[in-house]
Structure 1
């Protein structure tokens, strides 16, 4: 296994990831509903979240809105 670069490692140590999760942008439910309604396939989706890397948009999109 390769060593994680020191800058990357220290960027998420301590409570920084929790602070990021609390302060980050939240996705508008209406926007997520619009995208969900445009999907023709509702099961076994393969979602690629390009450029973000956190996976939070994919989780919000695939979450059950009910």
Structure 2
């Protein structure tokens, strides 16, 4: 039986399910990315994302109760 876990809350200090974690596939992908991508490349990607975010038009949220 798999235990329901809110990973965002309960696993902030590391996975509490270990090998039973349903997100192990994503951890492998993340580890592969970290090993295969240089820090300079990661910083370049982050800067590109930041600049894209700055150039996007603002997104307005209009409350329903107006």
TM-score, normalised to structure 1, is 0.30
Q: Whose Rg is larger?
A: 2
- Which structure has greater helix proportion? 2
What's the TM-score, normalizing by structure 2? 0.30
